[in-house]
Amino acid sequence: MRDGSIRDAGPPLPAPPPPRAAPIAGQSAGGRLALRIGLYAVLVLFALYYLLPLFVMLLTSVKTLDDIRAGSLIALPRTLTFEPWLKAWDSACVGVQCAGLKPYFLNSLLLVVPAVAISTVLGALNGYALTKWRFPGSQLIFALMLFGCFIPFQVVLLPMARVLGLAGLAGSIQGLILVHVVYGLSFTTLFFRNFYMTVPDELVRAATIDGAGFFRIFFSILLPMSPPIIVVTIIWQFTQIYNDFLFGVSFTVSGGQPVTVALNNLVASSTGVKEYNVDMAAAILTALPTLVVYAVAGKYFIRGLSAGAVKG
Protein backbone atom coordinates (compact mmCIF):
# COMPACT_ATOMS: atom_id res chain seq x y z
CA MET A 1 0.00 0.00 0.00
CA ARG A 2 1.47 3.28 -1.10
CA ASP A 3 1.30 6.31 1.14
CA GLY A 4 -1.75 8.47 0.41
CA SER A 5 -3.46 5.97 -1.96
CA ILE A 6 -6.12 5.21 0.63
CA ARG A 7 -6.93 7.72 3.30
CA ASP A 8 -8.22 6.73 6.73
CA ALA A 9 -11.90 7.59 6.56
CA GLY A 10 -12.51 6.98 10.28
CA PRO A 11 -15.76 5.51 11.73
CA PRO A 12 -18.82 5.51 9.37
CA LEU A 13 -21.17 8.44 9.74
CA PRO A 14 -24.79 7.67 10.90
CA ALA A 15 -27.47 7.73 8.22
CA PRO A 16 -29.41 10.98 8.07
CA PRO A 17 -32.95 10.81 9.49
CA PRO A 18 -35.78 10.67 6.92
CA PRO A 19 -37.28 14.07 6.15
CA ARG A 20 -40.45 14.86 8.00
CA ALA A 21 -43.53 15.74 6.05
CA ALA A 22 -44.43 19.33 6.42
CA PRO A 23 -47.62 19.76 8.45
CA ILE A 24 -50.59 20.77 6.32
CA ALA A 25 -53.43 22.81 7.63
CA GLY A 26 -56.49 20.60 8.32
CA GLN A 27 -54.46 17.33 8.18
CA SER A 28 -53.88 16.84 11.90
CA ALA A 29 -55.00 13.60 13.54
CA GLY A 30 -58.00 15.30 15.10
CA GLY A 31 -58.97 16.88 11.80
CA ARG A 32 -58.73 13.61 9.93
CA LEU A 33 -60.85 11.87 12.55
CA ALA A 34 -63.50 14.58 12.40
CA LEU A 35 -63.50 14.41 8.59
CA ARG A 36 -63.94 10.64 8.66
CA ILE A 37 -66.77 10.84 11.19
CA GLY A 38 -68.51 13.47 9.09
CA LEU A 39 -68.10 11.37 5.96
CA TYR A 40 -69.58 8.30 7.62
CA ALA A 41 -72.43 10.34 9.04
CA VAL A 42 -73.36 11.63 5.58
CA LEU A 43 -73.14 8.12 4.09
CA VAL A 44 -75.31 6.65 6.86
CA LEU A 45 -77.83 9.45 6.41
CA PHE A 46 -78.12 8.81 2.67
CA ALA A 47 -78.32 5.04 3.22
CA LEU A 48 -81.18 5.51 5.68
CA TYR A 49 -82.91 7.88 3.28
CA TYR A 50 -82.82 5.35 0.45
CA LEU A 51 -83.57 2.29 2.57
CA LEU A 52 -86.45 3.78 4.56
CA PRO A 53 -89.09 3.13 1.84
CA LEU A 54 -87.96 -0.49 1.58
CA PHE A 55 -88.10 -0.81 5.37
CA VAL A 56 -91.67 0.57 5.43
CA MET A 57 -92.69 -1.80 2.63
CA LEU A 58 -91.27 -4.80 4.47
CA LEU A 59 -92.99 -3.84 7.73
CA THR A 60 -96.32 -3.21 6.02
CA SER A 61 -96.17 -6.49 4.11
CA VAL A 62 -96.02 -8.54 7.33
CA LYS A 63 -98.73 -6.64 9.20
CA THR A 64 -102.41 -7.41 9.40
CA LEU A 65 -104.88 -4.84 8.11
CA ASP A 66 -105.84 -4.01 11.69
CA ASP A 67 -102.20 -3.27 12.53
CA ILE A 68 -101.89 -1.05 9.47
CA ARG A 69 -105.00 0.95 10.39
CA ALA A 70 -104.04 1.30 14.07
CA GLY A 71 -100.28 2.00 13.91
CA SER A 72 -97.85 4.30 12.16
CA LEU A 73 -95.82 3.45 9.07
CA ILE A 74 -92.68 2.50 10.99
CA ALA A 75 -94.39 0.79 13.94
CA LEU A 76 -93.43 -2.85 14.42
CA PRO A 77 -96.22 -5.37 13.74
CA ARG A 78 -98.11 -6.63 16.78
CA THR A 79 -99.04 -9.80 14.88
CA LEU A 80 -96.51 -11.10 12.36
CA THR A 81 -98.15 -12.65 9.29
CA PHE A 82 -96.95 -13.87 5.90
CA GLU A 83 -100.44 -14.33 4.54
CA PRO A 84 -100.16 -11.19 2.34
CA TRP A 85 -97.09 -12.71 0.62
CA LEU A 86 -98.93 -15.94 -0.12
CA LYS A 87 -101.95 -14.04 -1.40
CA ALA A 88 -99.84 -11.74 -3.61
CA TRP A 89 -98.13 -14.76 -5.14
CA ASP A 90 -101.07 -17.12 -5.50
CA SER A 91 -104.55 -15.61 -5.21
CA ALA A 92 -104.58 -11.80 -5.45
CA CYS A 93 -106.86 -10.43 -8.18
CA VAL A 94 -105.12 -8.92 -11.22
CA GLY A 95 -107.99 -7.51 -13.23
CA VAL A 96 -110.62 -10.22 -13.45
CA GLN A 97 -108.18 -13.08 -12.82
CA CYS A 98 -107.50 -13.97 -9.19
CA ALA A 99 -104.34 -16.06 -9.68
CA GLY A 100 -101.79 -13.74 -8.07
CA LEU A 101 -98.52 -12.71 -9.71
CA LYS A 102 -97.33 -16.26 -10.36
CA PRO A 103 -98.40 -16.58 -14.03
CA TYR A 104 -97.06 -13.13 -14.84
CA PHE A 105 -93.60 -14.05 -13.53
CA LEU A 106 -93.60 -16.81 -16.13
CA ASN A 107 -94.50 -14.25 -18.80
CA SER A 108 -91.58 -12.06 -17.71
CA LEU A 109 -89.26 -15.06 -17.77
CA LEU A 110 -90.38 -15.98 -21.30
CA LEU A 111 -89.76 -12.38 -22.31
CA VAL A 112 -86.49 -11.54 -20.57
CA VAL A 113 -84.38 -14.62 -21.30
CA PRO A 114 -84.62 -14.63 -25.12
CA ALA A 115 -84.62 -10.83 -25.41
CA VAL A 116 -81.44 -10.53 -23.34
CA ALA A 117 -79.73 -13.42 -25.14
CA ILE A 118 -80.55 -12.21 -28.67
CA SER A 119 -79.68 -8.57 -28.05
CA THR A 120 -76.39 -9.55 -26.37
CA VAL A 121 -75.30 -11.85 -29.22
CA LEU A 122 -76.24 -9.32 -31.91
CA GLY A 123 -74.56 -6.50 -29.99
CA ALA A 124 -71.35 -8.55 -29.72
CA LEU A 125 -71.31 -9.27 -33.45
CA ASN A 126 -72.04 -5.62 -34.26
CA GLY A 127 -69.29 -4.37 -31.97
CA TYR A 128 -66.84 -6.89 -33.44
CA ALA A 129 -67.65 -5.95 -37.05
CA LEU A 130 -67.52 -2.21 -36.35
CA THR A 131 -64.08 -2.38 -34.72
CA LYS A 132 -62.16 -5.23 -36.36
CA TRP A 133 -63.76 -5.41 -39.83
CA ARG A 134 -64.22 -1.76 -40.66
CA PHE A 135 -65.92 -1.06 -43.96
CA PRO A 136 -66.92 2.12 -45.82
CA GLY A 137 -69.68 3.82 -43.89
CA SER A 138 -69.10 1.87 -40.66
CA GLN A 139 -68.69 5.08 -38.65
CA LEU A 140 -71.94 6.45 -40.07
CA ILE A 141 -73.77 3.22 -39.24
CA PHE A 142 -72.44 3.28 -35.70
CA ALA A 143 -73.47 6.93 -35.31
CA LEU A 144 -77.00 6.10 -36.49
CA MET A 145 -77.19 3.15 -34.08
CA LEU A 146 -75.89 5.34 -31.27
CA PHE A 147 -78.67 7.79 -32.06
CA GLY A 148 -81.12 5.08 -31.02
CA CYS A 149 -79.86 5.29 -27.43
CA PHE A 150 -81.37 8.75 -27.10
CA ILE A 151 -84.80 8.11 -28.61
CA PRO A 152 -87.51 8.14 -25.90
CA PHE A 153 -89.76 5.11 -25.58
CA GLN A 154 -92.87 7.12 -26.40
CA VAL A 155 -91.54 8.12 -29.83
CA VAL A 156 -91.36 4.56 -31.13
CA LEU A 157 -94.73 3.34 -29.85
CA LEU A 158 -96.73 3.97 -33.02
CA PRO A 159 -94.06 2.76 -35.51
CA MET A 160 -93.51 -0.36 -33.40
CA ALA A 161 -97.25 -1.05 -33.20
CA ARG A 162 -97.49 -0.75 -36.99
CA VAL A 163 -94.54 -3.11 -37.55
CA LEU A 164 -95.88 -5.67 -35.08
CA GLY A 165 -99.27 -5.55 -36.73
CA LEU A 166 -97.79 -6.13 -40.19
CA ALA A 167 -95.67 -8.99 -38.84
CA GLY A 168 -98.62 -10.61 -37.10
CA LEU A 169 -96.95 -10.32 -33.69
CA ALA A 170 -99.27 -7.75 -32.09
CA GLY A 171 -100.28 -8.61 -28.53
CA SER A 172 -97.82 -11.48 -28.17
CA ILE A 173 -94.73 -12.18 -26.09
CA GLN A 174 -92.78 -12.74 -29.34
CA GLY A 175 -93.68 -9.23 -30.48
CA LEU A 176 -92.52 -7.77 -27.15
CA ILE A 177 -89.24 -9.69 -27.47
CA LEU A 178 -88.71 -8.13 -30.91
CA VAL A 179 -89.39 -4.64 -29.53
CA HIS A 180 -86.86 -5.02 -26.72
CA VAL A 181 -84.23 -6.57 -29.00
CA VAL A 182 -84.51 -3.68 -31.46
CA TYR A 183 -84.54 -1.01 -28.78
CA GLY A 184 -81.69 -2.57 -26.80
CA LEU A 185 -79.44 -3.18 -29.79
CA SER A 186 -78.07 0.38 -29.69
CA PHE A 187 -76.88 -0.07 -26.12
CA THR A 188 -75.41 -3.55 -26.55
CA THR A 189 -73.58 -2.50 -29.72
CA LEU A 190 -72.16 0.53 -27.92
CA PHE A 191 -70.95 -1.59 -25.00
CA PHE A 192 -69.23 -4.23 -27.14
CA ARG A 193 -67.83 -1.73 -29.65
CA ASN A 194 -66.14 0.26 -26.87
CA PHE A 195 -64.81 -2.92 -25.25
CA TYR A 196 -63.38 -4.33 -28.49
CA MET A 197 -61.68 -1.01 -29.21
CA THR A 198 -59.25 -1.95 -26.40
CA VAL A 199 -58.30 -5.26 -28.10
CA PRO A 200 -55.17 -4.87 -30.30
CA ASP A 201 -55.86 -5.11 -34.02
CA GLU A 202 -52.64 -7.11 -34.42
CA LEU A 203 -54.37 -10.14 -32.91
CA VAL A 204 -57.01 -10.10 -35.64
CA ARG A 205 -54.41 -9.48 -38.37
CA ALA A 206 -52.28 -12.39 -37.16
CA ALA A 207 -55.33 -14.68 -37.08
CA THR A 208 -56.30 -13.53 -40.58
CA ILE A 209 -52.81 -14.34 -41.88
CA ASP A 210 -53.17 -17.81 -40.34
CA GLY A 211 -56.35 -18.30 -42.35
CA ALA A 212 -59.01 -17.69 -39.71
CA GLY A 213 -62.26 -16.21 -40.93
CA PHE A 214 -64.82 -13.78 -39.45
CA PHE A 215 -66.61 -16.17 -37.12
CA ARG A 216 -63.50 -18.23 -36.24
CA ILE A 217 -61.74 -15.07 -35.00
CA PHE A 218 -64.83 -14.00 -33.11
CA PHE A 219 -65.44 -17.31 -31.35
CA SER A 220 -61.77 -18.25 -30.77
CA ILE A 221 -60.20 -14.87 -29.91
CA LEU A 222 -62.71 -12.12 -29.14
CA LEU A 223 -65.40 -14.09 -27.32
CA PRO A 224 -63.06 -15.70 -24.72
CA MET A 225 -61.89 -12.18 -23.82
CA SER A 226 -65.45 -10.86 -23.44
CA PRO A 227 -66.89 -12.18 -20.12
CA PRO A 228 -66.61 -8.76 -18.36
CA ILE A 229 -68.57 -6.94 -21.05
CA ILE A 230 -71.01 -9.83 -21.44
CA VAL A 231 -71.86 -9.58 -17.74
CA VAL A 232 -72.34 -5.81 -18.02
CA THR A 233 -74.60 -6.20 -21.03
CA ILE A 234 -76.68 -8.97 -19.49
CA ILE A 235 -77.23 -7.03 -16.27
CA TRP A 236 -78.09 -3.86 -18.19
CA GLN A 237 -80.51 -5.56 -20.56
CA PHE A 238 -82.08 -7.70 -17.86
CA THR A 239 -82.79 -4.64 -15.71
CA GLN A 240 -84.13 -2.58 -18.60
CA ILE A 241 -86.38 -5.29 -20.00
CA TYR A 242 -87.62 -6.72 -16.71
CA ASN A 243 -88.45 -3.30 -15.25
CA ASP A 244 -90.10 -2.00 -18.42
CA PHE A 245 -93.73 -1.01 -18.08
CA LEU A 246 -94.57 1.14 -21.12
CA PHE A 247 -93.76 -1.44 -23.82
CA GLY A 248 -95.37 -4.19 -21.74
CA VAL A 249 -98.66 -2.35 -21.29
CA SER A 250 -98.68 -1.14 -24.92
CA PHE A 251 -97.84 -4.31 -26.84
CA THR A 252 -99.42 -7.12 -24.82
CA VAL A 253 -102.96 -8.22 -24.05
CA SER A 254 -104.60 -9.54 -20.89
CA GLY A 255 -103.03 -12.78 -19.72
CA GLY A 256 -99.77 -12.23 -21.61
CA GLN A 257 -98.55 -9.21 -19.69
CA PRO A 258 -95.23 -9.06 -17.82
CA VAL A 259 -95.18 -8.88 -14.04
CA THR A 260 -94.64 -5.10 -13.90
CA VAL A 261 -97.94 -4.51 -15.71
CA ALA A 262 -99.66 -7.09 -13.51
CA LEU A 263 -98.36 -5.32 -10.40
CA ASN A 264 -99.86 -2.05 -11.61
CA ASN A 265 -103.20 -3.72 -12.25
CA LEU A 266 -103.14 -5.40 -8.85
CA VAL A 267 -102.34 -2.20 -6.94
CA ALA A 268 -104.73 -0.06 -9.01
CA SER A 269 -107.65 -2.42 -8.48
CA SER A 270 -110.57 -0.46 -7.00
CA THR A 271 -112.82 -3.38 -6.05
CA GLY A 272 -113.12 -4.74 -2.51
CA VAL A 273 -111.10 -3.73 0.55
CA LYS A 274 -107.77 -2.01 -0.16
CA GLU A 275 -105.12 -4.45 1.13
CA TYR A 276 -101.93 -2.43 1.51
CA ASN A 277 -100.03 -5.40 2.96
CA VAL A 278 -100.75 -7.45 -0.18
CA ASP A 279 -99.75 -4.51 -2.39
CA MET A 280 -96.44 -4.11 -0.58
CA ALA A 281 -95.70 -7.84 -0.69
CA ALA A 282 -96.48 -7.87 -4.43
CA ALA A 283 -94.17 -4.90 -5.02
CA ILE A 284 -91.30 -6.59 -3.16
CA LEU A 285 -91.87 -9.87 -4.99
CA THR A 286 -91.75 -8.01 -8.32
CA ALA A 287 -88.51 -6.24 -7.40
CA LEU A 288 -86.76 -9.35 -6.05
CA PRO A 289 -85.21 -10.61 -9.35
CA THR A 290 -83.40 -7.36 -10.09
CA LEU A 291 -82.26 -7.05 -6.47
CA VAL A 292 -80.90 -10.60 -6.58
CA VAL A 293 -79.10 -9.95 -9.88
CA TYR A 294 -77.38 -6.88 -8.51
CA ALA A 295 -76.53 -8.58 -5.22
CA VAL A 296 -74.96 -11.57 -7.01
CA ALA A 297 -73.36 -9.90 -10.03
CA GLY A 298 -72.94 -6.29 -8.93
CA LYS A 299 -69.16 -6.55 -8.49
CA TYR A 300 -68.81 -8.02 -11.99
CA PHE A 301 -70.85 -5.10 -13.32
CA ILE A 302 -68.38 -2.61 -11.81
CA ARG A 303 -65.39 -4.57 -13.15
CA GLY A 304 -66.94 -4.67 -16.62
CA LEU A 305 -67.52 -0.94 -16.61
CA SER A 306 -63.89 -0.41 -15.58
CA ALA A 307 -62.73 -2.74 -18.36
CA GLY A 308 -64.02 -0.53 -21.14
CA ALA A 309 -67.78 -0.84 -21.34
CA VAL A 310 -68.39 2.90 -21.30
CA LYS A 311 -65.06 4.09 -22.67
CA GLY A 312 -64.25 5.16 -26.20
72: pLDDT strictly greater than 70: yes
Quote the pLDDT of residue 144.
Answer: 87
| CB within 8 Å of 210: residues ≥ 6 apart | none
Backbone angles phi, psi at 171, to 5 degrees: 75, 15
| CB within 8 Å of 194: residues ≥ 6 apart | 127, 308, 309, 310, 311, 312
Q: CA distances (Å), 200 to each of 205, 225, 233, 264, in order?
A: 9, 12, 22, 49
Q: What domains appear along the chain, each with residue ranges and CATH number?
A: 31-80 (no CATH), 102-258+279-310 (1.10.3720.10)
- What angle (nearest 5°) sits at the alpha carbon of residue 266, between those of residues 271 and 114? 155
3-state secondary structure of 239: helix
Average pLDDT over every residue of 88-110: 89
pLDDT band at 2 (very low <50, low <70, confident <90, very high): very low
CA atoms within 13 A on the CB side of 305: 7
Q: Across the chain, what does the average pLDDT equal?
A: 85
Q: CA distances (Å), 104 to each of 114, 181, 226, in order?
A: 16, 20, 33
Quote the pLDDT of residue 263.
Answer: 92
pLDDT band at 4 (very low <50, low <70, confident <90, very high): very low
pTM to 2 decimal places: 0.80
Please count the other Cβ atoms lying within 10 Å of the Cβ belonging to residue 99.
Answer: 15
Percent of the chain with pLDDT over 70: 88
- Distance from C-alpha of 36 to C-alpha of 44, rounded to nearest angstrom: 12
| CB within 8 Å of 285: residues ≥ 6 apart | 85, 88, 89, 101
Percent of the chain with pLDDT over 90: 47
Quote the pLDDT of residue 240.
Answer: 92
Quote the pLDDT of residue 123.
Answer: 94
pLDDT band at 71 (very low <50, low <70, confident <90, very high): confident
7: pLDDT strictly greater than 70: no
Cβ-contact 80, 277 below 8 angstroms = no
Average pLDDT over every residue of 145-152: 83
Query: E-strand spans in the chain?
Result: none
Quote the pLDDT of residue 32.
Answer: 86
| Nearest residue to 91 via CA among 287, 272, 290, 251 | 272
pLDDT band at 145 (very low <50, low <70, confident <90, very high): confident
pLDDT tens readout for residues 162-216: 999 999 988 889 999 999 999 899 999 999 998 998 888 888 889 999 888 899 9
Please count the other Cβ atoms lying within 10 Å of the Cβ belonging to residue 245.
Answer: 14
